[in-house]
């Protein structure tokens, strides 16, 4: 139960819940990120809609060595947890250790990293291999700093073995152990999460004394925000916003990249693994129709790395529809018009784009050049299973960054990498690309890195199972009273910035 909210302003947010927990070291979905961002501080953070340039938060400054393996953070001394305890480097090390050792969904972010505390207000992160993404990683809410004494007192465990020994999740779902501007006052996975302003916050008090986040379907969000029942609707699609009246629509482009893949494994399909077929698909698609379908704010994904990140491709580099080429390529294959299965999350929608509709549009476009898709809408569980097993002939999926850095893409979309394998792309398939990926991982010069990322993507566009489609729009609909709203790919909206 909470104290009365009558003393200040209350903000009501309609959202389609997807958080599974608010334990920052376990939470991995963007809905939870939004809440944890308000409850837990991180060493660095992002401002507004920029998710690529970390700015100081608990750490006032940081530096790294030349080969990006050792990072030193200098903490601010004024930070306090909501119970008044000062925040120190021990809390940071505890939180990071916990993240690593719980072995939950986000623990891979800590893979190869070790945090140590030489003194009370210094934290050193050491990487086994050069890792240029450490500053952006620690800005993620997974790296939220918890009150180590309090969590340890409630079953928390941060050392090796935490996967079985840590019992603090339930505690963290009822009480906040953070230093952020808000505290958790009501928790639910399905109905409503309430945040109230942290009276002992070390920084400036936030504008709203209470934030109510309710689980509401898209359709109802549109109604609520128009009636002023909700102040912000998080999940509306561009099409849903075009008829709204009396509200502000903040449109941006998200970092979610939708892509199609055509399985490169000949044992799965001799057709889809044929590079000519992959090329035919690539050129058959009408990308401007796809963005029209996705609605205002959406742009074509020129490469697999979204536009906001270092080394992303320019619109000019993007693939353009070329029916003649597509037909010519198709003619070079043994394809005879037999139906090719396209697997996707049936009934699923992400950022306002319905998988079903998207797949329908794609299949009708491909049909125009003679590629006959058999749509295979599948419940998310089954679809993920076959996707991850790499047994689908074709698939329609999206990728949202685990951390806001291009390295997240080079480490996943290469041959023999996680997503590469799902598309049947064996490690030995493209040695030049593999070489490029290995090179970019240890390159510390940002300019050179950017060039290498661009080359990586151009190579993917030329010859890979992946066909980047679009970046979905990011839209926030709010009542006129809400000021300072900005879309952010990591946590949708930074609640602490709202006025």
Cα→Cα distances 333→297, 323, 336, 391, Å = 36, 16, 9, 21
3-state secondary structure of 316: helix
Burial class (CB in 10 A: 0-12, 13-18, 19+), 61: exposed
Smallest distance, other proteins to C-beta of residue 364, A: 6
Phi and psi at 405, nearest 5°, equal -150, 150
Round to whole Å and give the CA distance between 441 and 157. Answer: 32
Round to whole Å and give the CA distance between 177 and 302. Answer: 42
Cβ(269)–Cβ(393) below 8 Å: yes
Cβ(491)–Cβ(403) below 8 Å: no
With respect to other proteins, which residue has the nearer C-beta, 152 or 349? 349
Cβ(402)–Cβ(108) below 8 Å: yes
With respect to other proteins, which residue has the nearer C-beta, 119 or 242? 242
With respect to other proteins, which residue has the nearer C-beta, 205 or 288? 288
Round to whole Å and give the CA distance between 139 and 238. Answer: 29
Cβ-proximal residues to 82 (8 Å cutoff; 6+ apart), any chain = 147, 176, 177, 178, 179, 183, 198, 200, 201
Smallest distance, other proteins to C-beta of residue 380, A: 7
With respect to other proteins, which residue has the nearer C-beta, 315 or 381? 381
Smallest distance, other proteins to C-beta of residue 105, A: 3
Round to whole Å and give the CA distance between 113 and 403. Answer: 14
Smallest distance, other proteins to C-beta of residue 213, A: 9
Q: Which residue has the tokens 């306002």?
A: 352
Smallest distance, other proteins to C-beta of residue 229, A: 5
With respect to other proteins, which residue has the nearer C-beta, 110 or 127? 110
Smallest distance, other proteins to C-beta of residue 257, A: 15
With respect to other proteins, which residue has the nearer C-beta, 127 or 313? 127
Strands (E), 295-347: 299-300, 340-345
Smallest distance, other proteins to C-beta of residue 357, A: 5
Cβ(61)–Cβ(53) below 8 Å: no
With respect to other proteins, which residue has the nearer C-beta, 303 or 348? 348
Smallest distance, other proteins to C-beta of residue 463, A: 25
With respect to other proteins, which residue has the nearer C-beta, 213 or 305? 213
With respect to other proteins, which residue has the nearer C-beta, 277 or 399? 399
**Helix 287-294 and helix 355-367: axis angle, to 10°?**
160
Strands (E), 310-465: 340-345, 349-350, 353-354, 373-378, 394-399
Two tokens, residue 131 = 């890792």
Smallest distance, other proteins to C-beta of residue 216, A: 6
């Amino acid at each position: 139960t909470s104290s009365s909210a009558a003393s200040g302003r209350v903000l009501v947010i309609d959202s389609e819940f997807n958080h599974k927990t608010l334990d920052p070291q376990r939470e991995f979905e963007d809905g939870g990120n939004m809440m944890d961002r308000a409850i837990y501080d991180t060493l660095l953070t992002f401002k507004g809609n920029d998710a690529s340039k970390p700015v100081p938060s608990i750490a006032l400054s940081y530096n790294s060595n030349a080969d990006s393996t050792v990072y030193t953070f200098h903490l601010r001394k004024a930070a306090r947890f909501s119970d008044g305890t000062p925040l120190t480097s021990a809390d940071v090390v505890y939180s990071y250790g916990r993240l690593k050792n719980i072995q939950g969904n986000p623990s891979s972010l800590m893979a190869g990293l070790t945090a140590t505390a030489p003194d009370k207000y210094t934290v050193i992160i050491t990487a086994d291999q050069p890792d240029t993404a450490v500053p952006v990683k620690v800005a993620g809410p997974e790296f939220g700093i918890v009150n180590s004494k309090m969590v340890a007192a409630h079953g928390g465990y941060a050392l090796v073995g935490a996967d079985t020994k840590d019992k603090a999740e339930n505690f963290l779902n009822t009480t906040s152990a953070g230093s952020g501007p808000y505290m958790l006052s009501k928790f639910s996975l399905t109905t409503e999460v309430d945040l109230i302003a942290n009276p002992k916050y070390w920084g400036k008090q936030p504008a709203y004394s209470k934030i109510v986040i309710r689980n509401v379907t898209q359709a109802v969000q549109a109604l609520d925000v128009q009636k002023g029942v909700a102040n912000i609707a998080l999940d509306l699609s561009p099409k849903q916003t075009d008829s709204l009246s009396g509200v502000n629509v903040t449109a941006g482009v998200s970092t979610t990249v939708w892509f199609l893949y055509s399985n490169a494994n000949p044992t799965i399909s001799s057709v889809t693994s044929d590079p000519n077929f992959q090329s035919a698909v690539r050129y058959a698609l009408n990308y401007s129709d796809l963005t029209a379908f996705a609605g205002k704010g959406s742009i074509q994904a020129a490469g697999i790395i979204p536009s906001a990140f270092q080394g992303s491709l320019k619109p000019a580099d993007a693939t353009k529809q070329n029916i003649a080429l597509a037909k010519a390529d198709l003619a070079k294959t043994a394809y005879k018009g037999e139906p090719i299965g396209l697997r996707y999350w049936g009934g699923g929608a992400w950022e306002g784009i319905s998988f079903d509709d998207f797949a329908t549009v794609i299949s009708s476009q491909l049909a125009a050049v003679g590629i006959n898709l058999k749509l295979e809408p599948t419940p998310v569980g089954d679809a993920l299973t076959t996707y991850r097993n790499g047994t689908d002939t074709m698939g329609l999926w999206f990728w949202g960054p685990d951390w806001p850095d291009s390295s997240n893409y080079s480490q996943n979309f290469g041959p023999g990498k996680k997503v590469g394998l799902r598309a049947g792309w064996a490690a030995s398939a493209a040695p030049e690309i593999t070489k490029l990926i290995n090179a970019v991982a240890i390159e510390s010069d940002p300019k050179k890195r950017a060039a290498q990322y661009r080359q990586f993507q151009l190579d993917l566009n030329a010859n890979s199972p992946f066909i980047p489609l679009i970046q979905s729009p990011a839209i926030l609909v709010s009542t006129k009273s809400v000021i300072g709203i900005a879309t952010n790919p990591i946590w949708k909206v930074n609640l602490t910035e709202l006025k």
